[in-house]
């Protein structure tokens, strides 16, 4: 009998998150390599090489959700990191500084003693990819410089036109080859292509189950509140190349399908309006944002952000894998981004859209201003935006959020009147 037998999806999510952190700590203790990775960089190469993985964006999100990000941000502030840098990066730099201090002195710094931050070890190498933003290049270069460790960069061109040209896919496939060469050099081991194929197949099984969950919000009423995707995202980011993600998402999709068949809906009969949330969650205020919308009967049935990990490709085909890692909607032209979002709004049968103008995430936020008008024009759905930040609580005002979503609720009602 396995420890996970009979666990609900929510329990599996917590169990595997803790297991991943423990595996990284154990690897460090045993002198095996630990890699810190950008969230949409391909994990397939490091997993094939048995390298333990830690994902700073998810780690920072967890710290934010547990109300511990301000402490890390203040450490980064004191080190001179500018407040205009993405707060995921600043939370991570703060954590890295404290862990470095601990390694040097052997003493746990005061800021870490009471911190809710998951205690993950410092990396022996980092891997990053600019398929969601260029901040990730400078952030990881900085980590590598501060810790004097290797940095693997998968450089992905921005897609100004669609479909993605073959030369672009070839260029990215070349980056993959170079990452493999670097890993062989770092580990002193030959890359096992047979194992790599199995890792790719596992990744595809995880993605398939993730997509199965996401599609369930198209039902009206919906068995799924997409706020849950924000929580479950931790595993599509950190464990998509492992069985952990597939197992959890399959269990979750089965539970939701059971609920749908038995007319058990997320809002239990109180679903009044359906909205798309465009952008990252406000982690320190996840509960507040969810409750404010719920009080208005507004359920989230659309969100493009979790779709960043819809990384479908053909195992064994590097060009296909290259395409999956570059067609991320925020790495494409405005026209394509608008098309993706329109499909989300229509697929989720949404009545309105909430745009998070995220001070951290410049690219997403700047594009949102234009996207909002295009989507309103095409789908005739009203929208509102609010100012926020995914992990810097100083940049979010609950009262502003509440008045904006109240206004959206009124606009949605007025449209039906």
State the residues that interact with ligand SF4 by CB under 6 A. 57, 86, 88, 132-133, 135-136, 280, 360-361, 364, 390
* Helices and strands in the chain: count of H runs, count of E runs: 16, 8
The answer to whether 140 and 311 have CB atoms below 8 angstroms apart is no
CB atoms within 10 A of CB 145: 10
Measured from the CB of residue 363, what is the shortest distance to ligand SF4 in angstroms? Answer: 7
CB nearer to ligand SF4: pick between 275 and 328: 328
Q: Least distance to ligand SF4 from the beta carbon of 64, Å?
A: 11
Nearer to ligand SF4, 49 or 341 (CB): 341
Query: In terms of CB distance, is 16 or 55 closer to ligand SF4?
Result: 55
Helix (H, G, I), strand (E, B) or coil at 71: helix
| Of 133 and 296, CB closest to ligand SF4 | 133
Q: Minimal distance in Å, beta carbon 179 to ligand SF4?
A: 19
Give the chain's largest Cα–Cα span: 68
Q: Is 207 helix (H, G, I), strand (E, B) or coil?
A: helix
- Interatomic CA distance for residues 349 and 132, integer angstroms: 27
Least separation, in Å, of the C-beta of 195 and ligand SF4?
Answer: 30
- Beta carbon of residue 61, minimum distance to ligand SF4 (angstroms, whole number): 10
Q: Considering beta carbons, is residue 40 or 266 the nearer one to ligand SF4?
A: 40
**Cβ nearer to ligand SF4, comparing 271 with 392:** 392
Nearer to ligand SF4 by Cβ, of 34 and 40: the residue is: 40
Residue 155 CB, nearest distance to ligand SF4 (Å)?
15
Please say whether the beta carbons of 96 and 122 come within 8 A. yes
* Rounded alpha-carbon distances, angstroms, from residue 101 to 31, 81, 125, 315, 382: 20, 17, 18, 42, 50
What one-character DSSP code corresponds to residue 120? P
Residue closer to ligand SF4 (CB basis): 279 or 348: 279
Q: Which two tokens stand for residue 292?
A: 């404010």
Q: How far apart are the first and last CA of the chain?
A: 57
Q: Which residues fall within 8 angstroms of residue 317, CB to CB, at 6 or more apart?
A: none
Minimum Å gap between C-beta 308 and ligand SF4 is: 9
Number of neighbouring beta carbons within 10 Å of residue 214:
25
- In the bound complex, what is the minimum distance in angstroms from residue 392's beta carbon to ligand SF4? 11
CB of 134 to ligand SF4, least distance (A): 8
Least gap, CB of 77 to ligand SF4 (angstroms): 17
Q: Which is nearer to ligand SF4, 86 or 199 (CB)?
A: 86
- Helix H or strand E segment including 411: helix 398-416
Q: Quick one: DSSP state of residue 83?
A: T
Identify whether the C-beta of residue 168 lies closer than 8 Å to the C-beta of residue 326.
Answer: yes
Q: Give whichever of 256 and 281 is closer to ligand SF4, judged by the CB atom.
A: 281
For CA atoms 291, 408, 404, 346, the dihedral sign is positive
Cβ–Cβ under 8 Å, residues 386 and 289: no
How many Cβ atoms are within 10 Å of 383's Cβ, its own excluded? Answer: 22
């Amino acid at each position: 009998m396995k420890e996970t037998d009979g666990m609900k999806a929510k329990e599996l999510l917590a169990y595997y998150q803790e297991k991943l952190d423990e595996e990284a700590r154990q690897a460090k203790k045993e002198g095996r390599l630990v890699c810190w990775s950008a969230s949409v960089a391909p994990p397939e190469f490091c997993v094939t090489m048995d390298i333990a993985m830690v994902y700073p964006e998810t780690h920072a999100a967890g710290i934010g959700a547990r109300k511990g990000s301000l402490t890390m941000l203040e450490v980064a502030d004191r080190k001179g990191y500018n407040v205009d840098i993405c707060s995921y990066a600043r939370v991570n730099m703060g954590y890295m500084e404290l862990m470095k201090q601990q390694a040097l002195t052997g003493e746990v710094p005061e800021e870490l003693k009471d911190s809710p931050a998951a205690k993950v070890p410092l990396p022996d190498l980092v891997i990053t990819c600019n398929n969601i933003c260029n901040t990730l290049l400078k952030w990881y270069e900085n980590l590598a410089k501060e810790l004097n460790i290797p940095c693997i960069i998968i450089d992905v061109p921005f897609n100004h036109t669609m479909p993605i040209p073959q030369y672009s896919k070839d260029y990215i496939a070349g980056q993959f080859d170079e990452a493999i060469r670097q890993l062989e050099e770092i580990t002193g081991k030959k890359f096992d292509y047979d194992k790599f194929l199995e890792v790719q197949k596992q990744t595809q099984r995880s993605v398939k189950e993730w997509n199965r969950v996401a599609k369930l919000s198209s039902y009206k009423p919906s068995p799924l509140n997409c706020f849950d995707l924000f929580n479950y995202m931790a595993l599509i980011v950190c464990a998509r190349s492992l069985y952990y993600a597939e197992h959890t998402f399959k269990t979750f999709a089965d539970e939701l399908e059971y609920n749908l068949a038995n007319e058990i809906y997320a809002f239990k009969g109180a679903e009044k309006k359906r909205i798309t949330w465009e952008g990252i969650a406000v982690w320190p205020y996840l509960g507040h944002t969810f409750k404010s919308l719920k009080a208005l009967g507004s359920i989230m049935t659309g969100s493009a952000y979790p779709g960043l990990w819809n990384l479908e490709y053909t195992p064994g085909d590097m060009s296909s894998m290259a395409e999956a890692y570059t067609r991320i909607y925020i790495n494409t032209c405005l026209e394509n981004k608008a098309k993706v979002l329109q499909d989300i709004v229509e697929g989720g049968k949404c009545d309105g859209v909430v745009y998070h103008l995220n001070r951290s995430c410049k690219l997403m936020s700047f594009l949102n201003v234009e996207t909002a008008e295009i989507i309103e024009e095409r789908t005739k759905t009203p929208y509102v935006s609010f100012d926020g930040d995914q992990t810097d609580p100083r940049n979010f005002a609950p009262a502003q959020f509440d008045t904006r979503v109240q206004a959206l609720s009124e606009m949605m009602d007025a449209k039906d009147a």
